Structure formats: structure tokens, C-alpha cells
Structure 1
């Protein structure tokens, strides 16, 4: 995305008070005059940030189409403040709601398409539920979920804990797990796991009232494609599409994967 394409600005948003105060880093791309499309909102994955390939490509796609785009880092991620180990789904959802509210005020964002990757898919679903509860559900024009990981703490982590990991959670309040995505291990806290149970979405029908497109790799070592199929079974909307990518991994950041992402986003934009 070149300077000629965009007037994207960076900023920081204060969330919480007292010991819960943290600053969330974000980048806001305003729409071009006359833009008919909803804005795009990026929700990243666990330990990812808004400078990743998919996030940057999404912002570039928005700039090319002339629509607005919002991307940000959860606390403890990327350029945002706060400690990663303090993070929970509820905490990161609070930040997501704060960023969306800020974007409405400063970008004029009303209708939006949520683009959530991995854990960001879970947060997109929870954000939509919270907006529906407050009477703002119609503001969600659609969702594109990339290797979505709703309820991953209770569905994918807890059932597979080793005795050593359970002991570490009990004694230290966290356990570590090697990851192929960087030199530092993933850290999963007891706080995150307990809070995850309070944010489950796969316990019943997920009624969001908007079209949804799920992109899922069948060679994903972190979120099995059967998890995406299970999500589809819980969605109530008729306009729900699942694209299985035979050789796709968890990141889905290859050029051909990015093209599928752009196609899915463009389809929802044109249909909104």
C-alpha cells in the first residue's frame, strides 16, 4: 500500500481504568468520497499483529476499493501496551468494542465487514453477539473468517493438556508450548482458559443475521478443518459458505490464499 493509495493514520486508544488501563495501537483508513461499501475491520489471531501479511493486504484491498479499514493490536500484542499474560477473550473483546466505537466516531464507520483470523474469528463472533444484544446487529454487513478458532481454549487446548501442563497451570498459573511461528513459546494462562469458558459460542445456535464466508486449510496443524465444519453447523444464517483449501495451512498467507480472501471480501462488499 503506497502513500498515493491511502491516507491511513496511526493512533492509540486508552481502554480501561486503574490497573486495567492499557493503550491499544490502531491504524485507520478513511473511505474515499462517495464510497458505497461497508468498512473492513481486521481482527487478528493469538500473538499476531496488524503488520502481518493478511492484515496489510486487507488494508491495501480496502484502499484500492476506496472503502475504510480498521486494524489494531490487542493489548500485549504488536505495538499495543499491556502484558500479554493479562490477556483474556473478555479483555480483548472489550478492546475490540472500544476500537469499533472509536472508528464510528472518527471514521464515520457504521456498517462493517469483520475479517477475523484464528482467535480473531472467535472475537468477531463475540463482537457480533454483543452488538446484536445492544440493538446494533444490523451494523455487521458480513464476516470473513480465516481458520476460525472459536472456543479454542475449551475445545482445542483443554482436552489435549498433558499431566505436566495441567500441573504447570495449577502451580504457576500458565504453561508454555513451542510454536513453529517464532522463537518464543506460546503462553497459555489459567486466566485465559477460565475466561474462555465464559465466552463459548459453540454451545448452541449462533444467530448473527449476516452472511459469513469461512476460509479453512485442510492441512492446518493448529485448528483442524473439522472445527470449521462444526462452526458451520452452529450458524443459523442460510448465507454461510465454507471454502476448504486442500493444501492450506493455518496462516493462509500464500498469494493464492490472499486472493481467496480478497475475493470473499469483495463478494460481501458488493452484496451489502
Structure 2
């Protein structure tokens, strides 16, 4: 990284009383103050120490811009119970950290579920009508509305019964020895946070990177998302042999190239 800049690990309390949780984040200062800040929004059960998140920060260092990474509650180094997590809760935390760091302009880089949170964040910031301004979106294997569009239709009778009786169901994870846990509150909250219900106006360029061998979020889901972005400058890159992680060297290079382009345009 630049000798003139550095990354700082910090924590921010979000919520009050029994809803308070400590959110861990890393902010890398900028060499160029007038440039947008790159903001990493990770996926379900991922953390800010992942390969793509660190590559985003490395690209920020290369271009002399600021970078911000965070762990949602129940993820990585943040506090809170993972099973209390919902899209609304994780969105609240992400917005709170950005408000605390207070960049004037941002480029949101969302991976998988983070793509959903990025789209919801654009809506929330527009509703507030104040800073930061969103200069661009980089969506990597984005999973907007995944609870409603991908999980609910595929539920087995046993999983539905578990949701009713236990409040959650478990699913074997390909990425961890621990199973994925999907709670009833996550699924219910997902319905209130759907974005694929009408035209999404981000007001900025949108770059989507999607693997065609993605077993978790089929590439057809990315094609569906594009249909809801008719007013934006959208570039969709389909990677024929790419999986959901898109963490191979060639995938990471594509991500860094897209980020570089957006920063330069900004």
C-alpha cells in the first residue's frame, strides 16, 4: 500500500439496549481526498478478510483512493448473534459505518448477498437525500432477493416444517464445515426488502460480474437483475467457467479492472 496511507481497524456500536452490537470495520485513508471511497459489502457468512475484499483494498491502494470494509453482525470480527441477522439489520449496520466514516462519494462493491445490500443502500441513500453520493456499483455474483427468489421456491417439506417448528433450517455448506442456517426472520424480512419488483434507479454506472457455472446464484438471476435496471448504464460480464466465488486470479483481475474503470470515470 501507499507509504502515505494506512488501514485502521475500529469498531462502531450500532443499535441501542438489547439491540446494540459492535461492528468491526477497516478504513484505509485516501491519498487523493477528492476521489470516491471503495466500500466492500460481503456475502452471507463471508467476512472482510476474504480474498476479494482484500483485492478491492489493494486496488484502492494502487489508485490512491480510500477503502472501507466491514463485517456484518454475527460475521467475522463483529459482535452480535448471526441468527439475529436480517437484510434490514445488516443494511442498517452498513449505512451506520458509512455515515460514521463520512465519505462524500462512494463506489459500492457488493458480493453475492452484498449485491442485494448495495442495491438497498442506494435506495436508502436516495430516500434520505443526502451524502454520500454513489458513483458506481460493482456487483459480483449478485444475489438480490435470494431468500424470496432462490431459497423459498426450493424449500423441501422438511425444511418448511423446521422453519415453522424451530424457526430455522440448516443446509450443508460447500464453503464451511458448519452448515448454513437460514432463519424464518431472515426469510420474512427478505420479503420486505425485495428490489426486483419494479424499476431500480441507481443513478450511476453498474458493472456486474457473473459466473455461468455458479451453483448458488444461477447466471439467469443476473440477467433478471439487468431487466430491472433499464435507466442505468449497465455492463454485464458473463464468465463462462466462473463459479460463485469468482476468486481465481483471472476473476480478481476482472474485478480490479472494473473498479479501476469506475474510479477513473469518477
TM-score of Structure 1 vs Structure 2, range by shorter chain: over 0.9
Distance in 1 (CA, whole Å) between partners of 2:74 and 2:13 is 14
Q: Which residue of 1 aligns with 2:162?
A: 168
For residue 138 of structure 2, give the secondary structure of its aligned residue in structure 1: strand
Q: 1:60 aligns with which of 47, 58, 61?
A: 58
1:83 to partner: Cα distance: 0.4
Q: Which residue of 2 aligns with 1:49?
A: 47
For residue 165 of structure 1, give the secondary structure of its aligned residue in structure 2: helix
1:225 to partner: Cα distance: 0.2
Structure 1 stretches (4+) deviating beyond 6 angstroms?
none
* Deviates further, 235-244 or 84-93: 235-244
Q: Which residue of 1 aligns with 2:213?
A: 219
Structure 1 residues 100-159: Cα deviation after superposition (integer angstroms, max 9, x where no partner): 10111xxxx111100000000000000000000111377000000000000000000000
8 Å CA contact 2:41–2:110 kept in 1: the answer is: yes
TM-score (norm 1): 0.95
Gaps of 5+ in 2: none
1:36 to partner: Cα distance: 4.1
1:17 aligns with 2:16: yes
Q: Write out aligned runs for 1:228-247 (5 A).
A: 228-247=222-241
TM-score (norm 2): 0.97
1:236 to partner: Cα distance: 3.0
Distance in 2 (CA, whole Å) between partners of 1:231 and 1:185 is 28
Q: 1:140 aligns with which of 111, 134, 147?
A: 134
Q: Which residue of 1 aligns with 2:74?
A: 76
* Deviates further, 129-138 or 192-201: 129-138
8 Å CA contact 1:147–1:217 kept in 2: the answer is: yes
1:239 to partner: Cα distance: 0.8
Q: Which residue of 1 aligns with 2:172?
A: 178
Task: Quote the RMSD (CA, aligned, Å).
Answer: 1.2
Distance in 1 (CA, whole Å) between partners of 2:155 and 2:181 is 13
Gaps of 5+ in 1: none
1:20 to partner: Cα distance: 0.5
1:240 to partner: Cα distance: 0.5
For residue 67 of structure 1, give the secondary structure of its aligned residue in structure 2: coil
